[in-house]
Amino acid sequence: MRKILIIEDDELLGKVLFDALSASGFSTTKTIDALQGQQAVFSLKPDLVILDLMLPAGNGVELLRNLRISAQTQSLAVIVMTSYCDEEVRQEIEEVGVQGYFQKPFGHEELIKKIGNILGS
């Protein structure tokens, strides 16, 4: 079973995504801040991370950079989600390296389809 880690401080959205992804057959874990998220990446070794950009205890962009610096997580599939439509941030994220970028609000069906394409499942 493929493992997905959600790093999202919005409890409601985290729960909605968790339920949708679990119902779609993924082994899903959620965390609520950048520090817990980073720790969970290294302990759980997920196949894909869904990452919010605005997080407590750090921020999503920094976390993404840290993942790309580490040999262990350099190629880890990451989908970013954010409410901001800042083109500069989007370019920065894409330069650091992401496999998907979702503007909130979005339909969870789109997200699941994207995950399927990325993981080839």
For residues 31 and 7, the answer to whether their CB atoms sit within 8 Å is yes
Q: Which is nearer to other proteins, 21 or 41 (CB)?
A: 21
What's the min distance (Å) between Cβ of 3 and other proteins? 22
What's the min distance (Å) between Cβ of 108 and other proteins? 6
Paired residues of 30 in beta bridges:
6
Paired residues of 81 in beta bridges:
52, 102
> Using CB under 8 A as the criterion, which residues of the chain lie in contact with other proteins when the complex forms?
9-13, 15-16, 20, 54, 56, 83, 104-105, 108
Q: Which is nearer to other proteins, 36 or 68 (CB)?
A: 36
Q: Which is nearer to other proteins, 75 or 83 (CB)?
A: 83
What's the min distance (Å) between Cβ of 18 and other proteins? 11
Q: What is the secondary structure of 41-68 as a DSSP string?
A: HHHH--SEEEEESS-SSS-HHHHHHHHH
Q: Which is nearer to other proteins, 68 or 108 (CB)?
A: 108
What's the min distance (Å) between Cβ of 75 and other proteins? 29
Q: Which long-range contacts (CB under 8 A, 24 or more apart) does 115-118 make?
A: 115/4, 115/21, 115/26, 115/48, 115/79, 118/48, 118/77, 118/79
